[in-house]
Amino acid sequence: MTLLSRRHRMSPEPIKKPEETSPPQQPPRRRRGRPRKDWTPLDDGPAASDATSSPTVLTPASSTEPDSLVSAINVADAELLFHFLTRTAQTFATDDDEKAKEDRMVQFWKSNAPRIGFAHPFVLRLIFAVTGRHMASLETDKTRQPRLASVADQHFSAGVSDMVKELANIGPNNCGALYIGAVLVCYCSFAAGPTTPGDLLVCNIDGGDDDDAEPARWLPMIRGLKLIRAAVDESVLFSGLMAPLGPSDAPANEESGPVFVRQGFPRLDWEEPLEKLRSLVHDDQGPNAPVLLRALDQLIVIYEAVYGRGDGVYDGPSENGLVFGWLYRLDNKFIHCLSRLMRL
């Protein structure tokens, strides 16, 4: 700030009436070609005074802003996001790198899901949580595995907490985020593995008394998915960034054959053991037999789609090979029987 501008601020001139104000003096016009002798700045009037009276000065806060931005970067979260985009997202849809380039589900998880998370941070938290578990499972450094699992748990707890708050105000603007959040909670729970020897995936029987058996923490999310599908019209739920998860007008690229052939893993001889188990349940004719048979038949459909029958042949819908579908369709009565260890 110049001395002139300080003086103008401390001793402002009184405002004159229009008739008392003399017209601004014009600087003398210099003749063409004569060299200028005085190089003092010309008075540009009030505009110049105003400009000098409020110079642009960097305050300490603004001068340190770049440092603040750098220190605000969470490198651990950046690493999680990078791993999700380059590795974890693809595992939600396919193991084939070539198919992943064209797979719309892979593109959804790599591109759309993070963008949904930017608008709804609980989704981003849950993405970090499941990625942390994935990184821990791949980590060869045994000292780093617990740290990754701990980071995953922290993101999971924060994500679920924020998600529950949003559930109270479900609507067109957040139904898609809540739907994705519920899916991610299930994935996080599966990735975390069993919590105790009595963790049976759908319930935990380590409570001691049968009545104390706890339902799996992901089960409410499965029910939440069903409620969202029932309460929100598909045209609303699967719009915008959620569109890849909705029905497609494009002809389905149906993959034929069982999953083990397409993905190249060994076939499991499952038919005889499961048929014996089914006969045992059917012959018992106990009060819970219909519930148990229904759950078993749904599971047999999964085995058939994954491993095929006898000679490894399967010609049914490819979506039957999704194990998650069995958990999604599981009857609450079956979970009740399992949690109380009801015998045949």
Q: What is the pLDDT of residues 180-193, one digit of tens each?
A: 999 999 899 889 88
- Start-to-end CA distance of the chain, whole Å, equals 91
Q: Return d(Cα 339, Cα 331) in angstroms, integer.
A: 13
Name the residue among 157, 174, 176 with its Cα closest to residue 166. 174
Rg (CA), the chain: 34
Q: Which helix (H) or strand (E) holds 204?
A: strand 203-204
Name the residue among 217, 151, 210 with its Cα closest to residue 343. 210
Biggest CA pair distance of the chain = 119
Q: What is the pLDDT of residue 147?
A: 94
Phi, psi of 203 (to 5 degrees): -165, 170
Q: Return d(Cα 296, Cα 273) in angstroms, integer.
A: 12
Confidence of residue 150 (pLDDT cuts 50, 70, 90): very high
Confidence of residue 26 (pLDDT cuts 50, 70, 90): low
Tell me the percentage of the chain whose pLDDT exceeds 70.
73
Q: What is the pLDDT of residues 291-325, one digit of tens each?
A: 999 999 999 999 999 999 988 889 888 888 888 88
Max avg pLDDT among 186-195, 224-233, 297-306, 330-339: 297-306
Residue 7 has pLDDT above 70, yes or no: no
Max avg pLDDT among 1-10, 53-62, 210-219, 242-251: 242-251
Q: What is the pLDDT of residues 95-146, one digit of tens each?
A: 777 777 888 899 999 999 999 999 999 999 999 999 999 999 999 998 999 9
Is the sign of the CA dihedral 174, 180, 182, 184 positive or negative?
A: negative
More confident residue, 73 or 298: 298
C-alpha distances (whole Å) from 310 to each of 35, 121, 267, 307 are: 105, 48, 10, 9
* Sole residue written with tokens 């053991």: 273
